Structure 1
Amino acid sequence: MRKTELLKQKILTEGKVEEGGVLRVDSFLNHRLDIEFLNEVGLYFRDKFRGLGINKILTIESSGIAIATITAQYLHVPVVFAKKNVHINLPDEVYIEDVHSFTQNKNNKLVVAKKYLNKDDKILIVDDFLAKGNALKALLSMVEKAGGTVEGIGIVIEKTYQGGGDEIRKKGYNLLSLAKIKSMENGTVQFAD
């Protein structure tokens, strides 16, 4: 079974649409982790993005870390994750971006130490969801400030009806989503392709 079809099947059988447009996939993606499935996601991203000279994967804590880590083992590169909010144990020199979280319905400060992003970086950004694109835009801004290049963006689930993916693609980014959801009306997931 193709990896995209495998993901769609898992969304339909294990996912749950909740009030407010939230798709709960915590049984396999972002709370309880289905490692065999995540390995397939990592291999898929490796196959799609290898050959681009990627030397680092960037994601956001916490849900993106598992996907990024598994993908990194296949690309043989390190992972950097943006921390949510400023911590006392961070170095003085950091990139900070304010971002509104759809699922948490709150504002966060995303923080990455400057020593972990630089002008020589060829970045693959990986995350579990893309909706309005606020978090992704924050990561793109950090890479831009560092002078690096985003070679690709790998998303597990994109909610196309919220427009974030289209906006990012219009800017010329190489954005790939395994599953694209066009609607979740009446609690039913409908895929875009």
Structure 2
Amino acid sequence: MAVDGPELAGPEALAAAIAERLPALGRGAVVVPATGFYRPASLRLEHGRTDPDARYTDWLDAGALTREVLGPLGPGGSGVYLPVLWDLTRDRAARLPRQPAPAGAVLLLAGTMLQGLGLALDAVVHLRVSPAARRRRTAAGDAWALPAFDRYDTEVDPVALADAVVLADHPDRPALVLGGRWAPSQSSSQNSSSQNSPS
């Protein structure tokens, strides 16, 4: 399962919170931050440190993520995965050992712009932050990346693809909107609309 959303919406924090609750429901959990599978700086920042097109297309190594995490933890996989491939701080291979996932564990892949890449995911929760809220809440030094998120909204339409959407313009007042296989049926949608709408 992916928890997808801009950094300011806290996808890693939400994934960690879900992982804490799953053992009580009889399921283990593995949280993998997508940032651990970003490409080396020589590739990621080839066109400069503030190129929004590169931020959109060149940062995440989806092939490595599939090879080292999604494949091993998917159906028929070995169950042994690599938690981090690349150390962004040192800009070198993390050299962490592979780890066995607990039997029956749920993988929570957390990061930004994870949809539309062909990743083998069973479900996606998208943290939706509107363009206006992104601009309002993004620090001036990080504003260069905003066009990448605008492009993601336009080209991928993550809200339409996700199984569930959390409206996160206001962090203190998130609202859950179910979609995909979990969407309310037509007969029950009116009864549940008050619960699925932002307050």
| Structure of greater Rg | 2
**Greater fraction strand:** 1
TM range (shorter): 0.3 to 0.5
**Greater fraction helix:** 2
Higher RCO (C-alpha 8 Å, min separation 6) = 2
- Compute the TM-score of the two structures, normalised by the length of structure 1: 0.33
